[in-house]
Structures are given as structure tokens and as C-alpha cells.
Structure 1
């Protein structure tokens, strides 16, 4: 079991939340697969291991993980919610052709909320940065079309 899984399980225990095999599997999947899956993709990946688990179970556990700050819900242009294990603050590069999402860690933006607050007077609660373009796989496709 990875350190992040162990740390997350401890956080659940600390909050008096029972560690079910399904919860453990959903957390583990999110940590090990940085593909920013939808709830349906998580369900499909785990349904062989948990035939009695429903999509609703996945959604309910994701909502719980969001409340505890373990997972972030991301909504993009296609109106589908994607879920991301949030161990460190990071941003996303999104392919406008295939929808692939890559994480970007850029510590230089750590103080962006403070700067925004100082410049605007806003009481900033959070921020999100998304970069759109073509991933390396899609670049040759669009070059061939020209």
C-alpha cells in the first residue's frame, strides 16, 4: 500500500469513517491513476472486484472524500465531473482535441491567492487554473490536416 493510501486511510479513521473495501479501492484507484476519471470510469474499473457495488456507491464515496478534502471535483466544458486526488496543489493542462488531462505542479503560483486578494480586495477562498491546447498525441493529427 502506498504512503498516500495509508495517509488517506488514517484521515478517514480520524474522522470516524469506516474503511470499507469499496472505499479503500476507490481511494487507491484515484491515487494510482492520475487520469482524472469520472465516477463512471471508476465504477467500470472496479466492478469486477465489487460486483454488488453501484455507481451511486462510487458517487457517495467521492462526495465524502471531497468533504474531507482528499479529492477535488473538476468540471470542464463537457459537463462531466472528473475527480482528482488532491495531495498537493496543482493545475491542469487539457487537450482541446481528445480531453486528456495532465497535472502541472508549479510552486511559483503558490501565492497567487494572496496577490489576487491584495490587488482586488477580494477575500479569496480558492482558485483554479486550466491550460488548454493540443497534447503531443493530437499535435501530429492536426498538422496532417493542414
Structure 2
């Protein structure tokens, strides 16, 4: 939370209870929730919070580099509290999103840069398939 408060102050953004609550719900969440799920988690404790406030807070956090947005396509976005670039694996049936260890791909960026003769400035690596639960049905 210190990082959030410091970053908001440094960027002259308001520190509101709603923003703090959105970040608090997301910061330790490994499920990569969407905005609607975050809203539903907050609604009992913050009955006046709106879905628009949740979306605006998440957009601000992404712009400030505090979180990562995962685009699942067709306007479906999930939010990752880890802003560092890292690969994900996504279930095409239940839309579960999980982190993959960067260790598996540590040489990939330099290999691609070498092959393509590009200076890589960022990357987004996702794998798609069926999670164990969906695969067993």
C-alpha cells in the first residue's frame, strides 16, 4: 500500500478510500480478476462504490505501472497485481488465468531480438489451452 500511496502522491493523484480499496482487493489476488469481480468483492464493504470507479481506478493503476492489464480479447480484461512483464496461461473454457515462471523463457527476448534484428521494448506472452479442471470434464 505504501507503493500505491507514494505513486499517487508523486503523480498528483487523489488518494481516495475507493482507490485504496480497489488496490487492496487486487494486490494479493492471484486469480487475475476482472473489474466486475473486483466490484462484487468491494460492494458489501463499499455500497456506494460504482463499477465506473473500479474501472477508472484500474486504468489509473495500469497507467502508473502499478498493475498489468491482461487482454483476453473481445473487450475482456483481467488485472494482475504484478506489473512486471511475465507470461500467462489462459484456459479457453473457464477463462482462468495463471502466471508462468519467467525462468522458462529467460532467453526468449534476446533470441527474438537477435533473430529479428529488433530492439525489444516490451513483450506479451500468453499460452491458451484447457486447465486441468476443464480438461477432466
Give the TM bin, normalised by the shorter chain.
Answer: 0.7 to 0.9
Query: Whose relative contact order is higher, 1 or 2, with alpha carbons under 8 Å and at least 6 apart?
Result: 2
Match of 1:84 in 2: 80
Unaligned segments of structure 2, at least 5 residues: none
> 1:102 Cα shift?
1.0
Q: Tell me which stretches of 4 or more aligned residues in structure 1 moved more than 6 Å.
A: none
Q: 2:111 is matched with which residue?
A: 115
Rate the CA distance shift 1:137–1:78 in 2: closer, same or farther, 3 A.
Answer: farther
Q: Which residue is 1:41 aligned to? A: 37
1:52 is displaced (CA, Å) by: 1.7
RMSD of aligned alpha carbons: 1.9
Query: Do residues 28 (structure 1) and 24 (structure 2) align?
Result: yes
Partners of 1:43 and 1:58 within 8 A in 2: yes
Which secondary structure does the structure 1 equivalent of 2:136 belong to? helix
Aligned mate of 1:71, from 51, 62, 67:
67
Whose radius of gyration is greater, 1 or 2? 1
Q: How many residues align?
A: 137
5+ unaligned residues in a row in structure 1: which ranges? Answer: 142-146
